[in-house]
Amino acid sequence: MSLPPTTTRFKNPRAKYNFQGRTCSISGVGSYVPARVLTNSELERMVDTTDEWITTRTGIKERHLAAKDEFTSDLASQAAQRAMERAGVTADQVDLIIVATITPDMPFPSTACLVQRRIGAHRAAAFDLEAACSGFIYALEIAQQFIMSRTYDTVLVIGAEKLSSIVDWTDRNTCVLFGDGAGAAVLQNRPNAHGLLTAVMGADGRKSDLLFMPGGGSRCPASSESIAGRAHYLRMEGRETFKNAVQAMLTAAEEAMRRCEIDISRIKCIIPHQANRRIIDAVGERLGAKAGQMFVNLHKYGNTSAASVAIALDEAVASGCLQRGDLALLIVFGAGLTWGAAVIEW
Ligand SMILES: CC(C)(COP(=O)(O)OP(=O)(O)OC[C@H]1O[C@@H](n2cnc3c(N)ncnc32)[C@H](O)[C@@H]1OP(=O)(O)O)[C@@H](O)C(=O)NCCC(=O)NCCS
């Protein structure tokens, strides 16, 4: 088995091996956000903040919130159904479901198992992946190993979050930043397509205390003390996280492009993690991105963690920004710390 012919546009990094596998493409994407919209003006009535502060410091105008009886697996299943429809794939064809999330429905069973039940993909293996906001790229890279090795033909990768369930709605430093939503991709081999060319993944556990949730795990199980100490809400050092995000996203993106022997001018659409407009602009500027090359939708959704680039990818495709044959650069960053970047021939 040989790789499809490359044009002079890029190099497939796998070409340097005696490649015996199959390439892995996204054959369909889909996303879902819950109906309820929470605007900045509503937040002004909840905490000591202003629309002006949130807009200028983050770029976020509104975010979507799941209903009380709507959970991460529900959002994930909706996005998955849409991606499967676009890919022309039925539930019984799915071999594996990976759900990237930090807000599973419950510690166990995995949200992926709940999605499997909900969409009726009863043949599929299923597990969750926790790499915080970087989860979707981590999941893509893992999924493509199964396609490349011919272990599975069809893998469903989902990034889904109900972050509103772990946000402290009395903390203005964090509650204005996050939202709920889900994005999904069906991964398969598409003959004569390169698909996912490369994915960079990185982590630095020494900085795990910049962004974390102390409660609910083995270290601090739920108790009246943990509830009184607000341990079941996320905590963040905003300024340090910001600095690390810019540097890590930049380094990951440069490494991914270096592997494909391309520069930024070859990329049709850059899809960065949607956390803060100023992070996106700083990364874009350092990469030398042109106006309009960076896809931005965070004004509508805020930071949806593992769902973020998946929702943005779906919207980039739906809006025509990204067409078959174009190169896309996905860049992520999150708690852990974790980061990643992927180059995809769409
Ligand atoms: C959180 C973030 C928006 C704060 O912006 P910033 O410009 O760094 O702001 P600072 O932390 O310097 O705070 C400036 C002031 O605004 C205040 N402030 C914080 N949130 C506020 C809000 N919602 N409304 C009004 N004021 C607010 C702070 O209390 C601080 O006041 P002080 O100077 O009196 O102490 C920014 O640091 C950020 O986006 N960090 C990265 C977050 C992220 O991406 N996390 C997820 C990674 S996956």
Q: What is the pLDDT of residues 185-213, one digit of tens each?
A: 999 999 889 999 999 999 999 999 999 99
Three-class SS state of 215? coil
Please check the confidence at residue 130 and state whether its pLDDT lies above 90: yes
332 lines ligand 1 (CB under 6 A): no
* Mean pLDDT of all residues in 114-125: 98
Task: Examine the residue annotation and report whether 244 is marked as an active-site residue of this protein.
Answer: no
pLDDT value of residue 143: 97
Q: Ligand 1, closest atom to CA 174?
A: 1
What is the dihedral sign for C-alpha 100, 191, 10, 16?
Answer: positive
Give all strands of the β-sheet with 25-32 in edge-to-edge order: 25-32, 180-188, 155-162, 96-100, 125-129
- Please tell me the distance between residue 54's alpha carbon and the centre of ligand 1 in angstroms: 9
Average pLDDT of the segment spanning 145-162: 96
What's the whole-number average pLDDT of the chain?
A: 96
Query: Prior bond to 210 cis, omega within 30?
Result: no
Indicate which residue's Cα is closest to atom 24 of ligand 1: 49
Q: What pLDDT, on a 0 to 100 scale, did the predictor assign at position 273?
A: 98
Residues 290 and 332: their CA atoms lie apart, in Å, by 19
Name the pLDDT band for 28 (thresholds 50, 70, 90): very high
On whether the CB atoms of residues 296 and 59 are closer than 8 A, the answer is: yes
Residue to probe by mutation, ligand 1, list 276, 278, 298, most atoms within 8 Å of CB: 276
Tokens 């000591």, residue located: 48
Q: Give the model confidence (pLDDT) of 258-303 as tens digits.
A: 999 999 999 999 999 999 999 999 999 999 999 889 999 999 999 9
List the residue whose alpha carbon is closest to atom 2 of ligand 1.
238
Residue 160 CA to ligand 1 center (angstroms) comes to 25
Residue 194 a catalytic site member: no
pLDDT band at 218 (very low <50, low <70, confident <90, very high): very high
Catalytic residue among 12, 113, 273, 321: 273
Q: What is the pTM of this model?
A: 0.96
Q: How confident is the model at residue 7 (pLDDT cuts 50, 70, 90)?
A: low
Give the mean pLDDT of 73-87: 98
* Tokens standing for residue 333: 């960053």
Whether 303 is a known active-site residue: answer: yes
Q: How many CA atoms lie within 13 A of 83 on its CB side?
A: 35
Look at ligand 1, atom 28, and give the residue with the nearest C-alpha: 173
